[in-house]
Structure formats: C-alpha cells, structure tokens
Amino acid sequence: MLYLGLILVYTTALVCILQVLQHYRTAQSAIGWIIALLTLPYLALPLYLVFGRNRFEGYARARRKDDRKLDNLAFQLDQLIAPHRPLYQQPDSSKEVFETLARLPFTEHNRCTLLVNGNATIESMFNSILNAERYILTEFYIVRDDELGLQFKTLLMKKARSGVIVFFLYDDVGCAGLSSEYLRDLQEAGILVHPFGTLRSYLKRLQLNFRNHRKIVVTDGETGYVGGINIGDEYLDRTTRYAPWRDTHLKIEGPAVMGLQLSFLEDWHWATGYIPELPKPNLAPKYDEDQKALILATGPADELNYCELFFLQCINQAKSRLWIATPYFVPDIQIMSALQLASLRGVDVRILIPRKPDHKFIYYATYSYLAQADTAGIKIYRYEKGFMHQKVLLVDDTHGVVGTANLDNRSMKLNFEVSAIVHDKSFVAELTQVLVRDFSASNTLPASQYELRSLPFKLLCRAARLLAPIL
C-alpha cells in the first residue's frame, strides 16, 4: 500500500512538472516548483494545485464559448462611445498601445474627480447610488458585515425595493467573512447577488489563486467608481489597527464609464453564465470638463500579461517623472529593470509605500529591493501617517492612473484588476498635488535601512522575496 502511494504521489508530481514546463512564465518560478515537486512532493503537490497555476482557464473558456454574445456586447458599447472618440492632430503611439491593451478606445467628454480617502469616496459613491434611477452595478473584492457594510446593504435594498435593478458581485475569498444572512437579506430585497467564484468552485477548479480584486460601482451607465477602497469600516478609520487609512478613488462621469460596465458584465457573465440586458445610458456631453479617459481591465485569462505590459509601457515612456504609489512593492525582474533604466536615463522615479504593513511577508520582501533601487537612483518613500493603500501612477505631465493594481506579481499575473487612465493636464496637476502631500508625509528609505540590519533580518527579507510569485 505504501509503495502504491509513493507511485501515485510521484506520478502526480510528474504530471504537474509537465504542466509547469508547458505553461511557466518565469524560469525562476518554474525551477522552484520543479525542485519542490521532486524533493518534497507531499508538501509541494497541494501547494502547487492551489497556488501554482497561472492562467484562469475557466474564464477564458467562458469567453470562447460565448464569443458571439461578448462580441455583440462589445459592438454595442463601441457604437455608444463612437461619437466620443477624440480626434488627435498627430499619431500618439503611447495612447495606441494603451488602447490595444484595453481593447477599447480613449473617450472624451468625461469628468474625472479624484476622491481622497474613505469619507469622500463613500459619501460620493453612496450619493450616486441613492440618485440612481434605472440600474446599479456593484463589484467588490471585500465587503464586510460591519457598520459600513450594513449601511451599504441598507442603501442597496432601499434602491432595489424602489424598482431600480441592483447587481451585487463579490469575490468569495475576499468576502469569506461575509455572513449568509447578509447575502440572504440582499436577495430577499430583489437584488441580483452572485460570487465571482464560490470557495467550492475555486477548490473544485484548484484556482484559489485567482481573485477578483476589482472595485467597481456603476449607476445608470453614466457614473462610475474605481480605485482602492472596498466596503469596510477600516476605510473610514472606524477601526484603530491601520488608522488613519490613506487611499484614493476615482469618480468618472461620461462615456468612459462604459469601460467599467463592460468589465462588470464580463465578470458577471463568467460567474452566472448570462449577460443581463441593461437600459441604454445617456452619454450626451453634459460637463464643462472634457477629459480623455480609458478603462483597462486585466486578469489571468488575458492572452498576454496585459497588466505587466501596461506598467512596462508607462515606465518605458516616462521622460521626466514616474511616481508610483502602491501598498505592495514586490516587482519582478522585468519591472525592476525597467524602473532602474528609467532612473538611469534621468527620470525622477519615486515609489511610495506604507510604513505600517498589513502583510508582513510583503513588508520584509520590499526591504530586499532597497539596494537595487538605491544603486540606480530610485527613491523609495515610506508613508508615515498610517496605512497607505492607494494604487496610483503618474507619468510626466501627460497622464495619471487610479485603479486596483499593485506593483506585485499577484496583480501582474494572478488577480483580476481594473485601472482608469486619464489623459488631462488639469487632472495630472491635481493628482500631482495629492502625491506631493503624501511625499511630504513620508521619509526616504535608503539601502542602508537594509544593509545595516542584522543578518537574521536580511535572511528573513531574502526568504520572503523567494515567495514573491505568490505574495
């Protein structure tokens, strides 16, 4: 019996090794998995089956199965936003790359409003939900059954009972603590509720690694929200562990909202198997502002690593300034090399990270990059006033980005993410002021902060970095 067990374990390990050789994206991760599967198969097999896969095949298959439906949805969206495509006086290769990655065009006639921290975001978001007349789309990685979560539930139930169509899509890993009573109350009020993938389905497909990290709210197809803020008391400083919580969200009004709506509908289609029919939104220009914006949705079902390609494009095109705010700085070799090269060619490269971590392994892994950053002239700043969770990027004076993607392997290759790219000088100027205030509340983190530490600390940092592919 023991002999048969050994044969089964090593045969399964061999099958996994063959899968690694067929689908690996980095040589480092492939070598690590192969060595582990050969030497410690009892330990490595369950870890690989849960964390080792790097492509969300189920989502991709669902897209292929209903290509006609999704193509028709994309065509309808294209017809809606066609009158809002900007006419550029001369070709702009950087915008063309962004549009290729997003599979959507930039649109004009948008108004993009920066929302700094939780109170401003929740107030604006709740007001938009309250004023919705036809439909509300909500999608979050985390929804908590706490004070803010109950306020959110009450508001959605009120709108559903008034006749507004309400959708509630949530990630079952991020919302693992959400009670069944909470979900039942939403459903009994007439809200369409569904997890992006139940824990059972994740385990059935052995795809626990793939999480829907998006935070999207769309009301009537005319107003949308995207950024770093979920639904939980910590985002309003109602809990003391991470307070004050520093975050950034974005309110979009105009045709670019259709990009958020398309992302939501594709996710809903994966989760439920159908695409809901929604009323046609009114996208007629109605604002004094005329900002150009584009929504970029990325994930492990993409044919290419669109999220990483997006970051690489931003880094490579920067001429004078590249400012990135991220709570998790665990770049792979391609991103780190691009950052170093940008700094060496004279770009002001700044990375803003939190002093107070919410994930210890990531905190230690980040320290292992200090020497590489310092040698190339990259400035790493540590935000001192609480926990910084924003995901913001600023390139030169041309465009700013607010979204859900972090500068780590999970966002680049494993999570479903969404970002808004805004090409507008006034928006960039406002975002610059926000980041300048954040940098003034931060201290630089030179290489000496790592090099002068104890050997056990350094070993811990290096060991944590080895786990970067799954952090």
Whether 275 and 361 share a structural domain: no
Active-site residue flag, 391 = yes
pTM of the model: 0.89
- Mean pLDDT across 269-297: 88
Whether residue 117 has pLDDT greater than 80 = yes
Active-site residue flag, 423 = no
Q: Which of 153, 215, 251, 423 is catalytic?
A: 215
Distances in Å between the alpha carbon of 280 and those of 36, 190, 289, 326? 53, 21, 23, 36
Q: Which of 78, 145, 185, 396 is catalytic?
A: 396
Q: What is the pLDDT of residues 361-378, one digit of tens each?
A: 888 899 999 999 999 999
What pLDDT score does 206 carry?
44
Residue 373 to residue 352: CA distance in whole angstroms: 13
Nearest 5°: phi and psi at 218? Answer: -130, 135
Q: Which of 95, 109, 292, 389 is catalytic?
A: 389
What pLDDT score does 50 carry?
63
Whether 230 and 158 share a structural domain: yes
Active-site residue flag, 109 = no
Q: What percent of the chain has pLDDT over 70?
A: 89
- Mean pLDDT across 439-453: 92
Q: Is 363 left (phi over 0), alpha (psi -120 to 50) or beta?
A: alpha
pLDDT higher for 71 or 34?
Answer: 34
pLDDT higher for 3 or 404?
Answer: 404
Whether 27 and 131 share a structural domain: no
Active-site residue flag, 215 = yes
Residue 142 to residue 145: CA distance in whole angstroms: 10
Whether residue 214 has pLDDT greater than 90 = yes
Q: What is the pLDDT of residues 13-26, one digit of tens each?
A: 788 788 778 766 66
What is residue 244's three-state secondary structure? coil
Q: Which of 249, 391, 399, 423 is catalytic?
A: 391
Looking up tokens 């520093």, which residue turns up?
A: 246
Whether 38 and 74 share a structural domain: no
Whether 260 and 229 share a structural domain: yes
CATH, residue 262: 3.30.870.10
- Mean pLDDT across 85-98: 79
* DSSP per-residue string spanning 138-207: EEES-B-SSHHHHHHHHHHHHHHHTT-EEEEEE-TTTTTT--HHHHHHHHHTT-EEEESS-HHHHHHHT-
User: Across all residues in the chain, what is the average pLDDT?
Assistant: 88
The tally of domains found in the chain comes to 3
- Structural tokens at position 458: 């350094």
Whether residue 355 has pLDDT greater than 70 = yes
Residue 209 to residue 53: CA distance in whole angstroms: 8
Residue 44 lies in domain: 2-52
Whether 63 and 9 share a structural domain: no
User: Which residues, other chains included, contact 374 with Cβ-Cβ below 8 Å and sequence gap of 6+?
Assistant: 380, 446, 447
Whether 235 and 356 share a structural domain: no
Whether residue 62 has pLDDT greater than 70 = no
* Beta pairing class for 291-298 and 417-423: antiparallel
Which neighbouring-strand residues pair with 113?
Answer: 251
Angle between helices 360-367 and 455-466 (to 10 degrees): 110
Which one-letter DSSP state was computed for residue 240? S
